[in-house]
Amino acid sequence: MAAIRVSMLAVAISSASGRDSLGNSGVDVAWGSATLGGVMKISLVGITGVPLGKHKVKDSRMDLADKLVVADKKTYAQVDVAGEDELPTADVIVASPEGRFDLIVKDLEFVETRLTREPSPAEQAVLVKIKGCLENEGVVSQAGLSAEELQAVGAHAFITAKPLVVAEAAEVAKFDEFLPRVVSAAGYISFLTVGGPENRAWLVRKGATAPEAGGVIHTDIAKGFIRAESIGFEDFSAAGGETQAKRANKLRLETKTYVMQDCDLVNFRFNK
């Protein structure tokens, strides 16, 4: 079995079977080399004074978990903060009030130009709907488009179709404290792996299944997924820790169809 080290809720892989066994050690993993999820990207528009690059998402729930479970170190989830030039590949936009208005104008100009080019009746109807939303200083993501309407304009990359969070000066000044709100607006949740060498938070898209969450750590977990051993964060915190939650029968065995909940503490069992 290849050596992989993953800091998890009491997880260790047996070198003989490729399955994990209970204990406060882990599975050796080369971080970032084989995962299903990249780092969430934030594009700043009209925002100055925020350093570009990696930022820690300092979630107070991670802090509590680190107090309740002994580990060698604590690792927050990270996001990538980029400039306006990376808007096309960003997961979420953080804009000043003026920056938000500028993006609305850009989308409106595109819609008006497109309407002069005789689009199909289906596309035209959706463009008119979007135009009305933008003229009222709304964004495309708030236009209430149905799946069919989205398909009709699917060839167009509207900037304000992405999640957009407005940051006032006070929020920019404390940007890292503002990040958990941005992460949520982007459609991401966190899950925790704790114990042994590391207590760590990870980000995954809302609606992700347990195997998909495991794949954020390493593709081997997604490919060989057997089950997830999960403790809800409220149960964990109310019990006063992992061991106490297990004694209170709060540990759940979840199959590959399980949809991850925000801040689940999870241990993945998988074949290697």
Residue-level pLDDT at 35: 47
Residue 217 lies in a domain: yes
pLDDT digit string, tens, across residues 117-164:
999 999 999 999 999 999 999 999 989 989 999 999 988 989 999 999
pLDDT digit string, tens, across residues 24-60:
223 333 233 344 556 899 999 999 999 999 999 999 9
Q: Do 59 and 108 lie in a common domain?
A: no
Give the residue among 48, 32, 33 at the shortest CA–CA distance from 81: 48
Q: Do 135 and 111 lie in a common domain?
A: yes
Q: Do 101 and 76 lie in a common domain?
A: no
Residue 173 lies in a domain: no
Report the side by side order of strands in the sheet with 196-205: 71-75, 196-205, 188-193, 264-270, 225-231, 252-254
Taking the CB of residue 51, how many other CB atoms lie within 10 A of it?
8
Q: Which residues pair with 75 in a beta bridge?
A: 200
Residue 90 lies in a domain: no
- CB burial of 209-246 (b: ≥16 within 10 Å; e: otherwise) equals bbbbbbbbbbebbbebbebbbbbbbebbbebebbeebb
pLDDT digit string, tens, across residues 192-236:
999 989 999 999 999 999 999 999 999 999 999 999 999 999 999
Count of the separate structural domains present in the chain? 2
Q: Do 192 and 59 lie in a common domain?
A: yes
Residue ending a domain, choose from 166, 192, 212: 166
Residue-level pLDDT at 38: 67
pLDDT digit string, tens, across residues 6-27:
433 333 222 223 323 223 223 3
CATH number of the domain residue 255 falls in? 3.10.20.30
Domain that includes residue 114, residue range: 97-166
Residue ending a domain, choose from 166, 201, 221: 166
Residue ending a domain, choose from 166, 190, 218: 166
Q: Do 185 and 262 lie in a common domain?
A: yes
Residue 242 lies in a domain: yes
